[in-house]
Structure 1
């Protein structure tokens, strides 16, 4: 299975602590219901949390990877969301049990002599864990952290007090949007540096374009899907399920996941926008048309995995490990 293959850990957890840490942001500490150690994780990992009855949401782990007793997440209340964050903020209580899956990592920290971290809003959550990992090693690094206002920026005081002038706070009401050109201009050796960015789509696009123009390696994590590929026409195709030998027709106007569900085959999903990785499935034969916002260009060329919630097939038949 592909390196991004979802973990199968199903973790009954309990809310051990809940506190408001910024405007519209609560921090949760989660522990195993049985008190056992939790699966290990690396910076950039997230977990799938079932909130309420059946709403699954992804939250980046933002605590200490060395602490096997607790998972720490921070949740922004999304006023335009689908109810998951509102439940966490308004109804979730300490002592309540949650179903959690993971952790999985689509935003892994690569080894490099120099890092530039750029975070926007709640995008600080995976970056906080990365900084904890590299913060006291030999690698050079800096963080530029933006938000609507200081009061909306989680962990701002901790980051500055622990790491000093390596951390620059850039609240928008004081500084305007983050000046990406200014941040990148300070690099001693752009080719030896790696940029990690997490936050709203406009910030990710600006960072991606600026890094591409300078030949700087960049890793981004999206909360919203990137634009759909131009010129993609939806066509019907056949889907073969390798484990059962069944063949299912996927009409032009229906997603793979929807066609599978209509045939009684359930694939775990969450975002249904190609950004979370919950539905990632191995491709055994055929040529997928990738429409996710998760796989890298190198991973897409391999064509050994796909996100069936949004992606389709370039070949008339696609064989999946289902």
Structure 2
């Protein structure tokens, strides 16, 4: 748009008020001062802290049960009860808790118990070699341990066919510890009499947690292990899926990717998925991040995240989910054009400079971070 000056060459003074009249009246100026002081006082006396979201509540809990859930002894389940004995907030299948570990680490674990149980939560954790959070859970948490949790939150909601989903049947695909959010979904689908099937896969039977609970559903569930059948293809994971099916998939990133690729050739299918590792970087290009407080410049390759590079230089940099929904790795951008790839930051937060380093990138050459 081009703006033309109607008075070229003229230098026009700005009006002193809305109507173009100078304000020299002392009475009006005094009245303005009184009104301004009154408004400031009203704002001060009525100021309140923002009301937190329900799922931002920090709840004190204690461990009331600890059980081994896989024959390889690498998966442990914890049952948590409120420290004050009260009922816990309700949740729906697919929900998870943000767990504050004694070390200060924040980790997300899916709820895998009964949503109707308001007295306890159940989570399960597989030990990952070198994984600080999972090893801490296995090493340090015993019956009686005190923790704080936030939530429940749901980044993997279950839409019941006929109530939020046009699908008429369900297919569940779980890989290893990926059974944890899927298990409550299976229970609900079975209780409601919905047409469903499930494929549960892993390295070997001894590595599969909650295998006894899953196999109680009989012929609806197929258990497939790599040691007997080899690595599954995407086509094998979705074998029998046709139009009108909603697929719920959780597990390692390669498995989730294989399912997504296999379903592209089938029309009328919904895919709902959650992975327990960082998503692959798509269309990544290299860029730089500058740490404003030190002036250090770090190179981010096309196939690595800004968080990966930050952790290599700052091991204490906070992070958790690595998937762009928990906000733990949030940083402030002081300069540069962010390429936001999360799904949780609001437009106002992005405008204020917030960025999730685990998934988002740069639309230019460099981001300057307040670090």
Structure 1: distance between partners of 2:284 and 2:69: 44
1:138 Cα deviation from its structure 2 partner: 3.3
Deviations 1:181-201 (A, max 9, x none): 2453423xx231111111112
1:251 Cα deviation from its structure 2 partner: 7.7
Match of 2:109 among 59, 65, 88: 59
Deviations 1:237-286 (A, max 9, x none): 9xxxxxxxxxxx99886969x99xxxxxxxx95327334523498xxxx9
> Is the contact between residue 31 and residue 71 of structure 1 (CA under 8 Å) also seen in structure 2?
yes
Supply the RMSD in Å over aligned alpha carbons. Answer: 4.0
User: Which structure has the larger Rg?
Assistant: 2
Match of 1:171 among 202, 225, 229: 225
Normalising by structure 2, report the TM-score: 0.67
Structure 2: distance between partners of 1:95 and 1:277: 27
1:69 to 2:119 alignment: yes
Match of 2:130 among 77, 80, 87: 80
> Is the contact between residue 47 and residue 59 of structure 1 (CA under 8 Å) also seen in structure 2?
yes
Other-structure match for 1:111 = 160
> Is the contact between residue 272 and residue 309 of structure 1 (CA under 8 Å) also seen in structure 2?
no
Deviations 1:30-61 (A, max 9, x none): 01000111111111111111223211111000
Deviations 1:184-227 (A, max 9, x none): 3423xx23111111111211111010012223321111112222
1:85 Cα deviation from its structure 2 partner: 1.2
1:12 to 2:60 alignment: yes
Match of 1:45 among 81, 87, 95: 95
Match of 2:75 among 25, 41, 50: 25
Residue 238 of structure 2: SS of its match in structure 1?
A: helix
What is the correspondence of 1:259-278 to structure 2 with a 5 Å cutoff?
269-271=318-320, 273-278=322-327
Structure 1: distance between partners of 2:63 and 2:117: 16
1:6 Cα deviation from its structure 2 partner: 8.3
1:175 Cα deviation from its structure 2 partner: 2.0
Residue 56 of structure 2: SS of its match in structure 1?
A: coil
> Is the contact between residue 6 and residue 277 of structure 1 (CA under 8 Å) also seen in structure 2?
no
Cα 1:67–1:272, aligned 2, differ >3 Å: closer, same or farther? closer
1:226 to 2:266 alignment: no
What is the correspondence of 1:205-220 to structure 2 with a 5 Å cutoff?
205-215=257-267, 216-220=269-273
Unpaired runs of at least 5, structure 1: 238-248, 260-267
How many residues get paired?
294
1:236 Cα deviation from its structure 2 partner: 7.2
Residue 154 of structure 1: SS of its match in structure 2?
A: coil
Cα 1:229–1:251, aligned 2, differ >3 Å: closer, same or farther? farther
Q: Which has the higher contact order (CA 8 A, sep 6+)?
A: 1
Other-structure match for 2:186 = 131
> Is the contact between residue 60 and residue 83 of structure 2 (CA under 8 Å) also seen in structure 1?
yes
Unpaired runs of at least 5, structure 2: 1-52, 162-167, 301-305, 311-316, 331-335
Cα 1:212–1:269, aligned 2, differ >3 Å: closer, same or farther? farther
Structure 1: distance between partners of 2:218 and 2:321: 40
> Is the contact between residue 319 and residue 329 of structure 2 (CA under 8 Å) also seen in structure 1?
no
